[in-house]
């Protein structure tokens, strides 16, 4: 098994973000309890949504992206690469899927290493060298090893509850003339909590991308391959028509590089760090591995 060296500062930022989310959620639930807002149905609904999201995440993502699980005899080299990396990472070999699209990309999903799927697009297979492709696959397997689907599902649980209350409040304010003070206050609090939670969840997602990049660097021993892969994917993405990108928009948060990205001002609401920051972090890892 390869050495899986963690960045202590990055790990602390991840745990600090989770702690802040926990505090936000505690305050939110305490306010709702003091207001006497009836929550059983909403909590049950959110539990149901979280259950589906967690246990069926792999099927939902494959369905939404039209990715097809492939057998070893279809893409033997790809399967061998995934199997070797999974062995080095100390996790079971995930299922492998192919997505037919001109958008060069890759993603991983699944609630645990035993139920994981790693998917690549057919265009990324033509774009990258074997070493670069291995680095991308290692990034996705790092997500699997780090159980990122579980982390983000837990992190988004109360945000989903806040979204439901916020939507209920907004709907009621449009079509109801009742002066129901607890629900008005709860709706306003839910709006604030929802946006604060989204900021923290997006920050957590960006940290997970840095962690997966780092995991890839140590798993392959070649951070430079991931750097060139990210640059190639980003460069080709700029030439893909917008309508083709919108077809795969549902998987944006899972991709190694988002098919559709916002402006620099929207970085706080982005699931991925800017490319230049990822490359700078990988260059730092490369120096670290060389003993500088």
Say if CB 269 and CB 202 are below 8 A apart.
yes
Q: How far apart are CA 202 and CA 80, in angstroms?
A: 33
Catalytically active residues are 140
C-alpha dihedral (209, 215, 218, 223), degrees to nearest 10: -20
Q: How far apart are CA 254 and CA 272, in angstroms?
A: 9
Run of H or E including 29: helix 8-35
**Matching residue, tokens 């997500």:** 143
Radius of gyration of the chain (CA): 21
- Of the candidates 186, 208, 190, 187, the residue with the CA atom closest to the CA atom of residue 198: 190
Q: How far apart are CA 105 and CA 255, in angstroms?
A: 6
- Of the candidates 200, 94, 109, the residue with the CA atom closest to the CA atom of residue 150: 109
């Amino acid at each position: 098994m390869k050495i899986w060296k963690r960045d202590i500062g990055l790990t602390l930022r991840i745990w600090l973000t989770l702690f802040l989310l926990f505090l936000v959620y505690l305050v939110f639930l305490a306010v709702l309890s003091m207001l006497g807002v009836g929550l059983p149905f909403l909590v049950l609904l959110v539990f149901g949504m979280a259950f589906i999201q967690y246990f069926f995440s792999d099927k939902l993502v494959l369905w939404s992206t039209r990715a097809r699980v492939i057998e070893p005899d279809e893409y033997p080299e790809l399967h061998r690469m995934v199997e070797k990396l999974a062995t080095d990472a100390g996790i079971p070999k995930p299922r492998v899927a192919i997505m037919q699209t001109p958008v060069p990309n890759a993603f991983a999903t699944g609630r645990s290493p035993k139920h994981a799927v790693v998917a690549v697009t057919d265009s990324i297979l033509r774009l990258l060298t074997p070493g670069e492709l291995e680095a991308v696959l290692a990034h996705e397997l790092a997500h699997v090893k780090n159980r990122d689907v579980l982390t983000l599902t837990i992190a988004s649980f109360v945000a989903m509850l806040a979204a439901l209350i916020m939507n209920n409040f907004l709907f009621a304010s449009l079509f109801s003339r009742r002066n129901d003070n607890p629900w008005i206050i709860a709706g306003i609090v839910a709006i604030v909590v929802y946006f604060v939670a989204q900021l923290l969840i997006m920050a957590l997602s960006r940290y997970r991308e840095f962690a997966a990049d780092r995991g890839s660097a140590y798993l392959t021993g070649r951070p430079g391959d991931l750097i060139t892969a990210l640059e190639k994917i980003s460069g080709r993405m700029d030439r893909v028509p917008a309508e083709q990108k919108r077809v795969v928009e549902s998987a944006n948060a899972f991709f190694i590089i988002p098919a559709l990205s916002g402006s620099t001002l929207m970085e706080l609401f982005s699931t991925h760090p800017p490319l230049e920051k990822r490359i700078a972090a990988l260059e730092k890892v490369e120096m670290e591995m060389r003993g500088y």
